[in-house]
Structure 1
C-alpha cells in the first residue's frame, strides 16, 4: 500500500478542520493529483503560471465549466490554504458558467423512465430521488433511521456544504419504502451496496439511470439530477410557493429572500409530492 505524502496529508487535514464534505475532499485531492501528473512535478513546485496553463488546457479539452471551476476551487484551496499563498484567492479565477436551463422530464417521461429501471433497489433509489427531490449523493447515503414517518420527513445528513436538512416524505413514497424494507431488510444503510456495510455507490445509481434511459428509449441525457430538476419544476407548475421549493431542495444561496425561505417543517410535511400522482408500480407484487 502506497504511503501518503506529507503534503497530501496536510491538505486532507486542512480540509477536515474546515469541515469539507468527504466528496469535496475526494474531488479536491483528485484534481490536485491530476494537475501534478499533467506537468510531472509535485504540485508545490508548480507556479501560478502553470495553474493558468492547466486551466487553458482544460478549456482546450472542452471540459465542462462545472469541472473547470471545481478544479479552480481545488487549486485555490491548495495554494491559498495548504501552501499559505493567500494571493491564490485572487490569482486563480474560475470561469462564468453558461446560463443553461435545466433539463426537465414530463410526468409521462418520469413514468416511462421508472418503469424501465431494473432491480427493486435501483428502482426505489431513483423513485426516492424524484419523489423527494434529492441529490444523488444524498439519496445513496440515506439511512433507515433517516425516514421519519411520524413527521413525514426525510432527514438529510451532511448534505451539500456539510449542512443537515429535511426533505419531504410523501405518503406514497413511505408506502413504497415500507414494502421495500420488508423485502430487503436493510441494516444501517437504506440502500446498501454489494457490501452491506457500505451504501450503494453514486456510480452504480448513475449507471442504472443511464441503462433505464436507453431501455425507455428517451432521447434526453437523463441523470439523477434531472429527476431533481423535474421534481422542482413539477412542484412549481402545480402552484407550490417558490420559497417552499427552495427549502425542499436545500438551496442556501437565496439572496434577499433567504430569511423568508426557512419555513416550518410541518409545512414541508403537508406538501404533496408530484410522485404521488404517478401510476407507475415501483415494486411488483409477490
Structure 2
C-alpha cells in the first residue's frame, strides 16, 4: 500500500493529512483510524495528530524530532540556567524533555514568538489527543514557565499560563496487620531490615538506598536523611526494635559505606532488587492488592495520625514543604470515622 502523509492545519487544527489514489483497500484501512475525516476541498483524508497515528503512518514522532536552531540554542541556555540554580540531574532531565517536546510542536516558530494561546493549543492538540495524564501536563507547565524565564523579549505571559485541575487522589494505606505480615514475610535479615526501616521511618525508596552507616545515630535513636527530595535534610526517630534488627544485620553483612549494599562491597543496593524483595514479601504474605513500596510510607503517616501524632510533626517527619500535602492523610485516617454510627444501624 502506498500513501503520502504529512502534518497539515485543517480549519485551525493540527491534523495528519493522508493522500493516496483510489483504492478500496486503502480506503477501508484509513477508515479504521479513530477520528478520520475526508476533505473534499483539499482532496485528502485527515486524522488527529497523535503519537500513535504518527507511528502507524511512518511519520517521526515529537520525541524523535528536534526543535529548530533557535529552539536548540534556547534549550542550551535553559540547561545552563537550571544547573546554575542547582536543580538535580533527574529534575533537569524531566524539564529539558518537556521543554523540547513543546518546542518541537512549534518547530516553525521562534521561542520568542510563542504566545499563551500556543500553550492552550499544545495542551489540546498534543497532551489531550495523546491521552497524557494531568500530572504530566502539570509537569510540562512547570517546565514551560521556567523555560520562558530564560527567553528574552518574549510575547508569552508566564503568570497567565494555567495548570490543569488536579484530581484529588487519596493515598493507599495498609492496615497494621497487613504491614506486619509484609515486614515479617522475609527470613533474610537484610531484606527484613530494609522493609522495616522504610515503614518505621516513612522513607522514600531512594532515601533508603542512599543511607550511609553514618546516618544511623544509635546514641540519639535517630536516622538522618540527607539531601532528600527538594534538597532537604531531615531526621526521623529510630525504633529501638529496628535498631536491634540493624545491629544483627550489620554483624552478618558488615557493609562498608552504604547502609545497604549490593553484591559488590561499596556499591549501593539497586532499586530493581529492592522492588523484587518487596514483591516477594507480598507473595509470601498472600497480599493480592496492587501494593507498591510507597504504600508503606503512606501507611506510616496514616498510622501516626491515628495514634494521635500532631499533623505538624508528621509534616516534618515526611519532609513535606507544605502542610496541605500532609493534610491528605486526614482523609484516609479511620480513627474518627470509626466513632460515627451509621444511620442504618438505627433502622
TM-score by length of 1: 0.72
Q: Counterparts of 1:60-71 in structure 2 under 5 Å?
A: 60-71=129-140
Q: Tell me the distance in 2 between the aligned counterparts of 1:17 and 1:130.
A: 36
Change in Cα spacing, 1:86 to 1:128, as seen in structure 2 (3 Å) is farther
SS in 1 for 2:150: helix
The match for 1:249 is 318
Shift, 1:54, TM fit: 4.3
How far apart are the structure 2 equivalents of 1:168 and 1:234?
15
Relative distance call for 1:148 and 1:8 in structure 2 (3 A) is farther
SS of corresponding position for 1:222: coil
Q: Are 2:174 and 1:130 equivalent residues in the alignment?
A: no
Partner residue of 2:123 out of 52, 55, 61: 55
CA, structure 1 residues 241+188, in 2 after alignment: closer, same or farther (shift >3 Å)?
Answer: same
Gap change, CA 1:162 and 1:105, over 3 Å in 2: same
- Tell me the matched-pair count: 251
Residue 97 of structure 2 is aligned to residue 23 of structure 1: no
Match of 1:264 in 2: none
What are structure 2's unaligned runs of at least 5 residues?
1-71, 325-347
Note the 1:1-286 alignment, pairs <5 A.
10-33=77-100, 35=102, 39=105, 47=114, 51-56=119-124, 57-81=126-150, 85=154, 87=156, 89-116=158-185, 120-193=189-262, 196-254=265-323
Separation of aligned partners in 1, 2:118 and 2:201: 43
- How far is 1:245 from its partner? 1.4
Q: Hey, what's the Cα distance between the residues in 2 that align with 1:226 and 1:131?
A: 12
Q: Supply the distance in 1 between the matched residues of 2:301 and 2:243 (Cα, whole angstroms).
A: 19
**Which secondary structure state, in structure 2, belongs to the residue aligned with residue 223 of structure 1?**
coil
SS at match of 1:158: strand
8 Å contact from structure 2 (residues 114, 156) kept in 1: no
CA distance in 1, matches of 2:109, 2:256: 42
Cα offsets for 1:206-225 (capped at 9, x unmatched): 45434543553424322222
Mean CA deviation greater in 19-28 or 150-159? 19-28
Q: When you count strand as a share of all residues, which structure comes out higher?
A: 2
**Which fold has the larger relative contact order, with Cα–Cα distance below 8 Å and residues 6 or more apart in sequence?**
1
The CA distance in 2 between the partners of 1:95 and 1:150, in whole Å, is 48
| Higher Rg of the two aligned structures | 2
Contact 1:209 1:222 in 2 (8 A): no
Q: Quick one: structure 1 residues 235 and 74, their matched pair in 2 at CA, closer, same or farther if it must change by over 3 Å?
A: same
Contact 1:118–1:208 (CA under 8 A) maintained in structure 2: no
| Alpha-carbon distance, 1:237 to partner | 1.1
- Of stretches 44-53 and 212-221 in structure 1, the one that deviates more from structure 2 is 44-53
Q: What is the TM-score with the length of structure 2 in the denominator?
A: 0.61
For 2:44, the equivalent position in structure 1 comes to none
Supply the distance in 2 between the matched residues of 1:187 and 1:179 (Cα, whole angstroms).
15
Partners of 1:189 and 1:117 in 2: CA distance: 21
CA distance in 1, matches of 2:74, 2:272: 29
Q: How far apart, in 2, do the equivalents of 1:54 and 1:224 lie?
A: 34
Root-mean-square deviation (Å): 3.4
In structure 1, distance between residues paired with 2:188 and 2:161: 45
Q: For residues 159-189 of structure 1, what are the alpha-carbon distances to aligned partners after superposition, in whole Å with 9 as ceiling and x for unaligned?
A: 1221111112111111122222222222222
Superposition deviation, residue 147 in structure 1: 0.8
